[in-house]
Amino acid sequence: MLTASVSAFELDTSVDDEIRKNYNPSKIEEDKLPDLPSGINTPTKTNSASIKPQQQSSNSSIVPNTNIDTEFSKVPRRIKTQTSTADDSYTQIKIKRGTKFKVKSQTKVSDWNSAGAGMTFVSVSPVTKRYVSFPTGTVFKGVIEESHQPTYGGNGGLLKLKANFIKVSGNTYNIDAKIVNANNKHIYFNNIKGKRGYVKGISRQINKGDRFYKKTRNASTKLAGNPIGVIISPIPTIAGIVGYGANLIISPVTAIWSKGEHITLPAGTSYTLKLR
């Protein structure tokens, strides 16, 4: 036989009795109510205004607001860029090192130009490689890497040129190409030099001794026509030989103070560019 256990709860209504003694609960809400008796905790007032929620029927469907600001959706997203890696190198079109381009310059340059001055080349023949071709008229941009005028020691002027840009289909790309031929003359170490003057300096010094020797020979000839002068006629010739020999010996030394020639390459000069 099962018996049901019953629990009884006794409510403490002493607080309610105290409240009824001090004010009439039938008064309207607008009337000022008396203070509650001491010992009863009341919630503290806050300055924040209470927000009354909008009453909504539980049976009504929620209709979304159609006036949504779509301006943010119109802002283009930033394109994420990344640097080239070894993984995508096979997708790039590469031109083999050593590829040559025959071009003509559109800029006059000389050793009077300072380093950093720019110049322009235009190709005179097409170059075809795998996946890409460069037609006649392809534009190259170049720069003077180094320049100096003739110096002592018989050195001529110097120009060191390179091509650093190429324009293909309206786009400009970086390249590194040196000059290996200028006016059908092979260029070594990418240095275009003016004619050296050291050998000419030696020659000029020897020519001075030669002219001196010829003068002394003429003097000896004149003295030989005189019966008295014939005795001393060999002396000028001997002096001329000594002077000629002295100039021959010192000519390599004096040529150090000679200078070479300036170098000037007019517009229309033919070059050959070679990719490094």
pLDDT in tens, 122-173: 999 999 988 888 999 999 999 999 999 999 888 899 999 999 999 988 889 9
pLDDT of residue 4: 47
pLDDT of residue 82: 40
The token pair that represents 157 in the structure block: 């002027």
Give yes or no: residues 145 and 244 share one domain. Answer: no
| 240 domain-assigned | yes
Give yes or no: residues 207 and 191 share one domain. Answer: no
| 56 domain-assigned | no
The Cα 58–Cα 199 span in angstroms is: 111
- The 10 Å Cβ neighbour count of residue 263 is 22
> Which positions of the chain have pLDDT values less than 50?
1-7, 9, 28, 45-88
Provide the domain count of the chain: 2
Spell 232-245 as b/e; 16+ CB within 10 A means b.
ebeebbebbeebbe
Mean of per-residue pLDDT scores for the chain:
77
* Virtual torsion, Cα 182, 185, 190, 192, nearest 10 deg: -70
Give yes or no: residues 105 and 168 share one domain. Answer: yes
Give yes or no: residues 187 and 140 share one domain. Answer: yes
pLDDT of residue 103: 97
pLDDT of residue 32: 54
pLDDT of residue 27: 56
Give yes or no: residues 149 and 268 share one domain. Answer: yes
Give yes or no: residues 111 and 245 share one domain. Answer: no
| 60 domain-assigned | no
The Cα 218–Cα 158 span in angstroms is: 44
| 59 domain-assigned | no
Give yes or no: residues 182 and 239 share one domain. Answer: no
Cα–Cα separations (whole angstroms), residue 215 to 221, 235, 236: 10, 12, 8
What would the 3-class secondary structure string for 235-262 be?
Answer: HHHHHHHHHHHHHHHHHHHHHHHCECCC
Domain that holds residue 112: 96-196+264-275
On the CB side of 260, CA atoms within 13 Å amount to: 19
| 224 domain-assigned | yes
For 266, the 3-state DSSP assignment is: coil
Task: Decide if 247 contacts 209 (C-beta within 8 A).
Answer: yes
Give yes or no: residues 205 and 192 share one domain. Answer: no
- Residues of the chain above pLDDT 70, percent: 66
**CATH code for the domain in which residue 102 is found:** 2.40.128.260
pLDDT of residue 26: 59
The Cα 166–Cα 44 span in angstroms is: 79
pLDDT of residue 125: 95
Give yes or no: residues 105 and 183 share one domain. Answer: yes
